[in-house]
Amino acid sequence: MESTMVRKEDLDLIFKGGDFRGSVLYGEPLSKHTSLRIGGPADVFIVPSDMDSLKYILRASYKAGLPIVVLGGGSNVLISDEGVRAVVISLSEFDAIGLEGSILRAGDGVGLQGVVNYAGKNGLSGIEGLSGIPGTVGGAVAGNAGSFGTEIKDVLVEVSIVGKDGVEGIMSAESLGLGYRKADIPEGSVIVDATLRLKKDEPQEVLRRITEYLRQKKTTQPIGERSAGCVFKNPKGISAGKLIEDAGCKGLRYGGVEVSPMHANFFVAKGRARAGDFLRLMDEVSKKVKDAFGIVLEPEIKIIGC
């Protein structure tokens, strides 16, 4: 592996005399922080405990010219076997969630399923369709997560962000340019929390719908296996999973990564799977779909360090 870009000496200088609270780990295996359980070490892995600490590390890293990667729940990413030459920031401590009437506010680090369940128990409707989507609120906004005809943009009011210069700001849903699996987050900015506008409903009815959506997902997707969610975006009007299946790719395997026999747009990791196996399988599946249908598949997962 090539020499690290972010050295311990660099961070020691940043933290010297600084107002930072949280944990700092050097050489932390990112496989411990992704749903695929794939990924080499981060030069440094930082978990700030509060807003001031987040602002401080963003501002200090930016001034020092150190690259930054924000890792949410790790459910929609593929990280290089060689790791990441950057300051990797986790916002897992930003896990507050609360209500004011039908307005729900949740921190970046709150699991999306936790938000769905919280809304249901409080008799709030509008995000049941997001049931079963892994990852956190921040990742859901950044990728405009969607399922069963519902997208996060349908209920999003605004997000709080912190820029790379450590300055807080608010962005309305309209200003985010939310589209199919995308949001226009300013480069270097971090989503801190999201505000959602939901609708009052009977808790039992909302929870019933959540349960039904989860049941459907469990019968059609490899829930519980090591996957990164959908690998490719759906081309307009077409299911990527069906294209992959019709191209004869179900069950195709390289090394420790296999196209799920249950849902062809999910690749599942087996044993000591590697990012290289995943990328090779992506290339092979893309080639087979293009050869069969003339369609070029676009990755939905975020590839880091590869």
* Residue 54, domain CATH: 3.30.43.10
22 near 89, Cβ under 8 Å?
A: no
Find the domain containing 267 and state its range: 224-304
Residue 84 CA to residue 29 CA, distance in Å, equals 10
Question: How confident is the model at residue 2, as a pLDDT?
Answer: 46
Of 40, 58, 90, which closes a domain? 90
Does some domain include residue 294? yes
Q: Assess whether 67 and 102 both reside in one domain.
A: no
Of 74, 90, 106, which closes a domain? 90
Residue 53 CA to residue 93 CA, distance in Å, equals 11
Q: Assess whether 101 and 118 both reside in one domain.
A: yes
Does some domain include residue 69? yes
Q: Assess whether 115 and 64 both reside in one domain.
A: no
Question: How confident is the model at residue 81, as a pLDDT?
Answer: 96
Question: How confident is the model at residue 188, as a pLDDT?
Answer: 87
For the packed helices 51-63 and 8-15, what is the interaxial angle rounded to 10 degrees? Answer: 120
Q: Count structural domains, the chain.
A: 3
Does some domain include residue 1? no
Beta bridge partners, 29, equal 41
Question: How confident is the model at residue 1, as a pLDDT?
Answer: 39
Q: Assess whether 67 and 106 both reside in one domain.
A: no
107 near 137, Cβ under 8 Å?
A: yes
Residue 223 CA to residue 229 CA, distance in Å, equals 9
Q: Assess whether 65 and 124 both reside in one domain.
A: no
196 near 145, Cβ under 8 Å?
A: no
User: Which pLDDT tens digit goes with each residue over 11-64?
Assistant: 776 766 667 899 999 999 999 999 999 999 999 999 999 999 999 999 988 888
Does some domain include residue 125? yes
Of 174, 205, 236, which closes a domain? 205
Q: Assess whether 139 and 181 both reside in one domain.
A: yes
Does some domain include residue 2? no
Does some domain include residue 210? no
- CATH number of 102's domain: 3.30.465.10
Whether this prediction's pTM lies above 0.85 is answered by yes
Does some domain include residue 217? no
Question: How confident is the model at residue 31, as a pLDDT?
Answer: 97
Low-confidence ranges of the chain (pLDDT < 50): 1-3
Does some domain include residue 212? no
Q: Assess whether 141 and 157 both reside in one domain.
A: yes
Query: Rounded to a whole number, what is the distance in angstroms from the first to the last CA of the chain?
Result: 13
Whose structure tokens read 């609270």? 21
